[in-house]
Amino acid sequence: MSSDSDCIFCKIIAGEIPSFKLFEDENTLAFMDINPASTGHALVIPKEHAADVHAVSEAAIAQTVKTAKMIALAIDRTLNPDGLNLLQCNGPAAAQSVMHFHMHVLPRREGDELKLNWGLEPGDMDAIGALAERIRSNL
């Protein structure tokens, strides 16, 4: 499986840097976003390194969407949000900051006025870790 030693998400897959892991199978990994745009913001990635929608294989994108659906359900059970975005960004103009294909699972609240080009503010790691445990228990 292709990997890029300079890619932060490949390092998370390899366990070289820590993450609040939610779910892992042979082809995908789901974990909490550490710069959350909303409470419960999670990411789903293929293990195969590919920069964006143009580079990712059809198999990997299908596996990633399947895992994203499972994570969306677990987040729904855990947080009961008013809505939820599945979002995927391609290229700097579309606010892609990590060049490893990923899907955002973004819980939403009525009137939260979340801008989809959110700033990358570090979250509260204790709160994110505690939430990861709650979401895992709802998988």
Residues classed as catalytic: 102
Q: Exactly one of 1, 14, 16, 35 binds ligand DGP (CB under 6 A); which one?
A: 35
User: Pick from 40, 52, 38: which is nearest to 7 by CA?
Assistant: 52
User: Pick from 96, 108, 112, 100: which is nearest to 40 by CA?
Assistant: 108
Q: Assign residue 25 a region: left if phi > 0, alpha if psi is -120 to 50, beta otherwise?
A: beta
Q: Which is nearer to ligand DGP, 43 or 44 (CB)?
A: 43
Site membership for ligand DGP, residue 8 (CB under 6 A): yes
Run of H or E including 8 = helix 8-14
Burial of 16 per CB tally in 10 Å (0-12, 13-18, 19+): exposed
Q: Which is nearer to ligand DGP, 96 or 138 (CB)?
A: 96
Binding mask 49-68 for ligand DGP (x = CB under 6 A): --------------------
Site membership for ligand DGP, residue 5 (CB under 6 A): no
Q: Which is nearer to ligand DGP, 31 or 40 (CB)?
A: 31
Residues at the interface with ligand DGP (CB under 6 A) = 8, 19, 31-35, 43, 89, 95-98, 120
